């Protein structure tokens, strides 16, 4: 990569906060994925902006796939390392592998739900090294306006079922990777980032474990 290219800022997918509000904003988890995600993925409702600008603009919501991995009744967790792209979450534990949808995920003609799921799989492939296949599905949306980080992000919670528990980190931002039961994770709830706390608290509501 040339020096000029390395200096190009990542362009990430956003929707306007007012559009989210028009669909019905909420705090915490919302299971009505089909009331939101198809609307977000319509070309006229989303666009790409430089990541740095989006992080400081609460009039925008960055769409963040947030994948929770499970196998054999256990949930994958990790600690965010110093190389994490979101510096405000470094050293926090997490059960979610998440990342921005960027303009390299966009097809030439449109950005639809199929393209979105390709972006989810691309993010999984970058973050983790899996020893087997997996299936994934979106089960909820996640919004937290109580924090600086949360006000500019909107999560799409995906449950990922793994064929086996052979998983290793694909990036230095992921440390102390392992599996634990829900009870074990709840016992150390205070060490987790807010989004992970919300998902852990809402697993019964999501009816996925």
What tens digit of pLDDT does each residue of 146-201 get?
Answer: 988 899 999 999 999 999 999 999 988 898 899 999 999 999 999 999 999 999 99
Give the confidence band of 86 by pLDDT, cuts at 50, 70, 90: very low
Q: What is the pLDDT of residues 4-14, one digit of tens each?
A: 444 578 899 99
> Could you give the domains of the chain?
3-204 (3.90.79.10)
Give the confidence band of 45 by pLDDT, cuts at 50, 70, 90: very high
Closest CA to 59 of 20, 8, 11: 20
Phi, psi of 207 (to 5 degrees): 55, 50
Predicted model pTM:
0.88
Q: What is the DSSP letter of 142?
A: E
Give the confidence band of 209 by pLDDT, cuts at 50, 70, 90: low
Distance CA 182, CA 177 (A): 15
Distance CA 33, CA 37 (A): 6
Give the confidence band of 26 by pLDDT, cuts at 50, 70, 90: very high
User: Hunting for tokens 């909107």 — which residue is that?
Assistant: 154
Distance CA 116, CA 126 (A): 15
Are the C-beta atoms of residues 79 and 171 closer than 8 Å to each other? no
Lowest average pLDDT, out of 66-70, 104-108, 195-199, goes to 104-108
Give the confidence band of 142 by pLDDT, cuts at 50, 70, 90: very high
Residues paired with 44 in a beta bridge? none
Residue 37 tokens read as 């995600």
> Mapping DSSP to helix (H, G, I), strand (E, B) and coil, where does residue 37 land?
helix
Are the C-beta atoms of residues 95 and 199 closer than 8 Å to each other? yes
């Amino acid at each position: 990569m040339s020096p000029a290219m390395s200096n190009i800022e990542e362009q990430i997918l956003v929707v306007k906060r007012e559009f989210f509000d028009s669909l019905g904003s909420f705090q915490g988890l919302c299971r009505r994925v089909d009331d939101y995600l198809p609307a977000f993925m319509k070309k006229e409702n989303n666009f790409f902006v430089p990541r740095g600008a989006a992080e400081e603009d609460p009039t925008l919501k960055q769409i963040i796939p947030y994948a929770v991995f499970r196998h054999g009744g256990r949930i994958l967790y990790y600690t965010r390392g110093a190389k994490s792209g979101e510096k405000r979450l470094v050293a926090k534990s997490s059960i979610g592998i998440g990342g921005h949808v960027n303009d390299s995920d966009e097809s030439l003609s449109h950005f639809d739900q199929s393209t979105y799921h390709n972006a989810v799989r691309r993010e999984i492939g970058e973050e983790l090294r899996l020893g087997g296949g997996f299936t994934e599905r979106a089960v909820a949306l996640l919004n937290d306006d109580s924090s600086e980080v949360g006000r500019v992000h909107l999560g799409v919670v995906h449950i990922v079922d793994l064929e086996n528990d052979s998983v290793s980190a694909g990036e230095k931002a992921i440390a102390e990777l392992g599996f634990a039961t829900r009870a074990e994770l709840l016992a150390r709830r205070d060490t987790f980032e807010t989004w992970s706390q919300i998902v852990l608290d809402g697993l019964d509501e999501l009816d996925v474990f």
